[in-house]
Chains A and B, each alone.
Chain A
Amino acid sequence: MTVPALEPPLPRLTPETEFFWTSGADGRLRIQRCAETGRWFHPPRPDCPPYGTCTPVPTPVSGLGTVYSHTINRQPFLPAITPPYVIAIVELDEQEGLQLMTRIVGCDPESVHIGQRVQVTFEQHGEIHLPFFEPLTTTDEKAPA
C-alpha cells in the first residue's frame, strides 16, 4: 500500500508491544499465544492466566477474520486520514473473542458489514506495520457470532 504524506497517530514501540507493531515486515500478523494451552491473547500481556506460570509467545496467525462490528467515520478528525474510512473490530479465525480494532480498506466503505470475511494487509510507516484488513472474496460468509 502507498504511504500517506502525513502520518497518522503511530504507536510508540515498547518491549511489550514491539513484536505486534513490527510483525508485518514479513507479511505475517503475530499474536501472543500460550505454548502450553494454545490460547491466544490480545492485547499483549506479561504472562498467562490464571497462574502466570508461562509467558505467551508471539506467534503468526492466519490473518483471516470476520467483521464483528464497524463504523464509517465521516468526520475529518485527522489530517493524515481523509474520510470516509471504515474502522472495525475484527475477530480473528484462530479463537472466539480474539479481536482487535483496525481499519477495513480496499473496498467501498458502504459495502462493509457485520459477518464479512476479511484478511490482513499492512500499511508501513518506517518499522511500524499497521495491520489493516481488506475483504476476502474467495470464501463464503461466516455467520456472525
Chain B
Amino acid sequence: MSRDHFEHDAAITGIGRSDTGRRLGRSGLDLTVQAARAAVADAGLTMADIDGVVAWPGEYPAAPGFNGPSPWRVKGALDLDLKWHLACQEGPAQLTPIMAAAMAVSAGVARHILVYRTTEESTAQGAGGRVLTNGADQGGVTGSLQWQRPFGAVSAANWLAMNYQRYVHETGARRDQVGWLSVSQRRYAADNPDAVFTEPITIDDYLAARMISEPFCLLDCDVPTDGSIAAVVSAAETAGDAPKVVRIEAIGSAMRNDPGWDQWRHPHDMAAADAARHLWSRTDLRPADVDTAQLYDGFTFLTIMWLESLGFCGYGEAPAFVEGGDNISLTGTLPLNTSGGQLSAGRLHGWGHFYEACLQLRGEAGARQVQGAEVALAAAGGGPHGGALLLTR
C-alpha cells in the first residue's frame, strides 16, 4: 500500500450506464438500478460482493430532477449489505464518489464500492415547463445561494457567464473560436449511440443560436438529460479477477481559491485550478502524456478553463487551440470530449466524461476510439467545486 498515493490502492473494475436521453419518464431509482446492475456485472461481481455505496450529491434541496436517489434508496432497491455509504453535495465536485470510494478501499473500510450519478432533470423540467424553480427558495434562500438568486442569477449559466465575460475582456478571445468546441463535440456525438444530439452543426449555426446569458448562447450550454452512470471501485488487490481494469494514476481535489461564485478575481479562480495543480503534484506524468481528455463542459467556457488550468494550453490560448477543431479531433494532439460531451451527449454531470475515459482506456469507444489510448484525463466541475482524475489502463 502506497501511503502517499491512496488512489493506487484502488481500481475501477466495472462500468455501466442506463438508457440516457430526453424525457425518458422513468424514475431516477429505476435508471440507477439499471446502471448499477450493468456495472457490477461488468466487474464480474454480484450484488453480494458490493459492500459500499457512494453517490453525489445526496438528497438536499435542489432543482427538480437534479439529485438522483440517495444511497439509502439504492441499498434497498438492490438488497445490498453495506459496510459504508456516503453522499454529499460538497467534495471535489461531481467526481467525489470515485475519490471517496478510492479512499475507503485504501483504508480497508470496504472492498467493492458501487458509485453512481443519476439525473432525471429532463423529465422533471419537462413537467415544470421552462421556468426554473428551486427547493432552496422555500422559506428564503440561505447559504451561498443567497448571494446569487435574489439578483436573478439562478443558473450556473449566469454565474459562469461573468467569468467568461471577464476572460473575453482580458484575453480578446472570440466566440467564433470557442464555438468550435460545440461543433467538434457534435461531430464526435454522431459516432456515439448514447448521445442525445447527433445532427451536425456548423460554426454559423453556433453563432446564430439564441442567447441564454451573454456570452453563452444555447449551444454553449449542455442539455438536461435523464440517465445514470455507475461504476465499481475495488481494492486494487482484488482487481486481478476483473475482466477490464482501469487504474487511477492521480487524483486532484484541492481547494484554495475563494469558494464563491462572486468572489473570484481572475476568470480561472475556481476550485478546478486548485484540483489541476494537485493532480500534477501526484504523478510523474505530464499533460503531453495524456492521450485523450474528457473535460467538463456544462458550458463551453469551462472546457476552456480546464484546458488552461490543466496546462494543456497557456492562459488565453485555448480558444485558438480549439478553433477549427483539428487539434481536438481523433487525429489531433488532444482528442477532446470524444463522447460528444455534455453539450451533445447529454448532461450527466461529469459522469459521461468519466465513463468515456474508461471506455477509451478499455479500447471500447468504437468509431471514436483514440488508437492506443493509455492515459486519459477526466475532470468535472466549475466555480467553487472541481475535481480531476488521471486514469490509465
Contacts and interface: CB of A to CB of B under 8 A. Distances in A.
B134 A9 contact: yes
Contact of A11 (B130, B131, B141): B141
Shortest 5 CB-CB distances between A and B: which pairs?
A12-B140, A71-B161, A101-B262, A9-B149, A69-B166
A101 B151 contact: yes
B165 A114 contact: yes
Interface stretch (B72-80, B210-218, B356-364): B210-218
Contacts of A9: 134, 137, 141, 149-150, 154
Contacts of A132: 151
A144 B169 contact: yes
B172 interface: no
Given A8-B152, A88-B162, A72 B141 contact: no
B212 A74 contact: yes
Nearest to B155: A77
Interface in A70-120: 70-79, 81, 85, 87-89, 97, 99-103, 114
A72 B152 CA distance: 11
Q: Name, among A68, A71, A103, the residue most crowded by chain B CB atoms within 10 Å (CB to CB).
A: A71
Contacts of A17: 146
Contact of B166 (A11, A68, A79): A68
A13 interface: yes
A130 to B, nearest CB: 5
A10 interface: yes
A71 B265 contact: no
Give the interface residue-count category, chain B: 35 or more
Most buried by A among B131, B153, B158, B159: B153
Contacts, number: 111
Given A101-B261, A130-B151, 18 more contacts: A8-B149, A9-B134, A9-B154, A11-B141, A11-B142, A12-B140, A69-B162, A69-B169, A72-B211, A73-B152, A74-B214, A75-B157, A77-B154, A97-B263, A99-B263, A101-B148, A103-B152, A132-B151
Interface string B265-291: 100000000000000000000000000
A71 B213 contact: yes
A87 B214 CA distance: 10
Contacts of A77: 131-132, 152, 154-155
Contacts of A10: 137, 140-141, 150
A36 to B, nearest CB: 22
B262 A100 contact: yes
A49 interface: no
A137 interface: no
B165 A78 contact: no
Interface string A1-42: 000000011111110010000000000000000000000000
A60 interface: no
Contacts of B146: 11-12, 17
A11 B214 contact: no
Contacts of B260: 43
B84 interface: no
A88 B260 CA distance: 14
